[in-house]
Each structure stands twice: as structure tokens, then as C-alpha cells.
Structure 1
Amino acid sequence: TEQDYCVVVGAINMDIRGMADIRYPQAASHPGSVHCSAGGVGRNIAHNLALLGRDVHLISAIGNDFYGETLLEETRRAGVNVSNCIRLHGHSTATYLAIANKQE
């Protein structure tokens, strides 16, 4: 018998968030922290469907780089089938970068 499964078509990217330890003026260097996490609307939906126990396949495009390999491995570990994600040689994986000022 065939098993039902979900197919998600959408983005997969690395979310990078930087946070200064202090409130900073522009054009200056300050200590802070950087946090990277798996993101992309398609990847997030597929990940959450897998957490709900669904058999889910993600269709997406990803760069042939460190971020791409990291994202595929993390998504695979979450239980998502990533065999239909294509690796784009010569291209970087999509990233989202947010830099925040410490709120006082």
C-alpha cells in the first residue's frame, strides 16, 4: 500500500542574527553575539509537519556550500526527506541577516 505524504515546495536558508552586548552608535565596533539557525518558510513548514509525525518531502534549491550542507543535515535529522532538494554548484545558500541593537 502507498503511504500518504506531504510535499512542501519553498525556501530553505540560514538565518543569522547578530546582537550587540551594548547599545551602539553607528560606525563603531562592539562586542556581541551571533546566532545561526535553520530557516526559510518552506523548511520551517516541513520541519513542523515532521514534528507532528507526518511523512514530509521538501523541494527546494540550496547552494553547494557549508550553510547548504548544514541546513540539509539539520532538516534531514528533523525527519524531513530532502532528496528532492537540488544543490546549485557555484551558488551560495540563501541567508537572512539581522543585526540588532541591545534594547535598554
Structure 2
Amino acid sequence: ENRELRQAARMVVELGRLRVDLTREHVHEAVLRSQLRETEHVVEAQAAHMIEQQTLNDAEVQAALNALREREELHEQALDRLAREKQLATREQEGIDKIR
């Protein structure tokens, strides 16, 4: 009978240990889930920031390309104007030469 009581007491103690271990595991799992949610929020925020940054970078690249095209157009217009002025100056010089 004593032996059975001791065995029953050991079983109760072991059951208590198992419950403590299980509770520890549940707490650990809850902590891990919380850390996972926090990490997911951080990653989502970083991804949103990267998308926003990429959008800004794309807009900056587009603005730079537009500015470059405008400069090229202005350069072409200036070259055309110089060519016309040169033709006009050449004709004027030819006219002056004819008068002489």
C-alpha cells in the first residue's frame, strides 16, 4: 500500500512536471507567434517603403529622361537656328560681294 501511494505520488509529481513543461511550451509558442507577427509587420513595412522608394526612383529617372529629351530638342533647335543664320549670313555676304 505504501509502495502504491509512493508510486501514485510520483505519478502526480510527474503529471505536475508535464503540465509545467506543457505550459512552458505554450508560452514559448505564444512568444514565437508574437515575434513572427512583429517580424511580418516589419517586413511588410520595409516592402512598402521599398515599393514607395522604387516608385520615387522611377519618377526621378523619368523626370531626368524628360529633361534630357528637352535639352536634346533645345540643342537641335539651336543647331537649326545657327544653320539658318549661317545661310542668311552667307547670302548677305554674297549680296554684299555682288554689290562690290
Could you tell me the TM-score, scaled by structure 2's length? 0.14
Tell which structure's C-alpha radius of gyration is larger.
2
Greater RCO, CA 8 A, separation 6+: 1
| Structure (1 or 2) with the greater strand fraction | 1
